Each structure stands twice: as structure tokens, then as C-alpha cells.
Amino acid sequence: MEEKQLPAAKKVSWVKKAGYILLGALVIIQFFQPGKNNQSLDMANDISKVVTVPEDVHNILKTSCYDCHSNNTQYPWYANIQPVGWWLKDHIDEGKGHLNFQDFALVEPSERFPTKALRQDHKLEEVYETVEEGEMPLKSYTIIHGDAKLTDLQKKSILEWVKAARKELAERDSAAVTAFLSSH
Ligand code: HEC
């Protein structure tokens, strides 16, 4: 009889052990906090310094896009809990890599877009596309940040602003004019 009970007791202790190991791992990874997106409020190179950004549009962008596309993420408390913080960092690094509204004046020409204005214009074109198609802001973000979800009216404001902003850039750079015309 006693022998029969032994395996069951062993099983419980294994589950317990695994639980302790998992708990230990969770505690240990808390010591590996990722660096925070640098929390800069410096607006010297912000997109609003490059093209006209009406205040209401700027506010929409700040609420719905800047957490991942600027140098100043407003972190939720659970960003301090790993592995959530690592996951957020991944999104922010990737989002910022594609587009940084707060560094928009620093956009460099590339092979494909040989002037600053052309490259900025291309980024604006992408803003238009991602907003129009509802790809941005990311769904995983709006599930938690309900206020970042774009209403139809907000979408319309962004799209109209992008058109005006691209026109503004086009007037400044004749190469961009060609790009602008060929994409319309
Ligand atoms: C939760 C983070 C997050 C938020 C909020 C967010 N983005 Fe993004 N964005 C990303 C990531 C990650 C990528 C790169 C991967 C991808 O294209 O899905 C990206 C890529 C982009 C790109 C480049 C697309 C391309 O084809 O290269 C544009 C443009 C963009 N986002 C615009 C916006 C706009 C406009 C908003 C607000 C309305 C916004 N994003 C909100 C994370 C975010």
C-alpha cells in the first residue's frame, strides 16, 4: 500500500519543483530591465517643425502614435514587469526604426529617395496608407489603449493633413513634386 502512494507523492513534488523553478526564473528576469525609450520631450526636430501640423492632428498623433514613433514613450506600470517590458521594447524599437515623428527633421536622404523632402514625403505616404487601411495604430496596442483607437473622423483628419503636408513638401522640393504627382 505504501509503495503505491509513493509515485503520486513524487508527482506532486515534481509539479511543486517546476513551479519553484518557474517562479525563480520570473524573479531572476526582473533584474534584466530593458532601457526605456529615452523620454525626451525635445520638439526641436518634430514633424511640426517640418510641415504644418494643426493642433488637433498633432494631439491625435501624440495619443495614437507617439508611444511607438517618438523618443518619448509613456509607459504603463506593467512595462516594469518582464517579459512584458522586453516585448514593448521590441515594438518601440521597430516602430521608431520605420518612422520617428519627433525626429522627422533629421530624416536622411537614401538611395531610393535622394532628397530629404522626398524621403519625408515617402514616410508621409506610408502614414496615409497605414492609417487608411487601419494597420496603425497596432491592434495589440489599441486593445489596451482604447483612447488611441482612431475614430472615422480622426482618420479623416489625419488623411487630410497628410495630403496637405505632402503638398507643402512638394512645393519646397521639385523632385518631391514629381513623386507627389506620380502617386496621385
Ligand atoms: C504599439 C506601437 C505602435 C503604435 C502605437 C503605432 N505604431 Fe506604427 N509601427 C509600429 C511597428 C512595430 C512598426 C513596424 C512593423 C510594421 O510595419 O508592422 C510600425 C510601422 C509604421 C509605419 C511604417 C510602415 C511601413 O510600411 O514601413 C508607419 C507609416 C506607421 N507605423 C505609422 C503609424 C501611425 C500613423 C500611428 C498612429 C496612428 C502608429 N503607427 C502607431 C508600432 C506602432
Residue 134, pLDDT score: 97
Residue 140, pLDDT score: 93
Reported as half-sphere exposure (CB side, CA atoms, 13 A), residue 21 has a value of 6
Binding pocket residue ranges, ligand 1, CB within 6 Å: 64-65, 67-69, 91, 94-95, 98-99, 126-127, 130-131, 136-138, 141
Asked if 122 and 113 count as a contact pair (C-beta separation under 8 A), the reply is: yes
- What is the number of other CB atoms lying within 10 angstroms of the CB of residue 83? 12
Residue 3, pLDDT score: 52
Of all protein residues, whose CA lies closest to atom 42 belonging to ligand 1?
95
Residue 44, pLDDT score: 97
CA distance 72 to 38: 6
Residue 88, pLDDT score: 95
**Which of 122, 104, 130 is CA-nearest to residue 51?**
104
Asked if 156 and 43 count as a contact pair (C-beta separation under 8 A), the reply is: no
Residue 146, pLDDT score: 95
Regions in the chain scoring below 50 on pLDDT: 1
Residue 6, pLDDT score: 60
Residue 171, pLDDT score: 87
Closest-lying ligand 1 atom to the alpha carbon of residue 129: 29
Asked if 91 and 68 count as a contact pair (C-beta separation under 8 A), the reply is: yes
CA distance 56 to 153: 11
Of all protein residues, whose CA lies closest to atom 7 belonging to ligand 1?
137
Cell of 142: 489599441
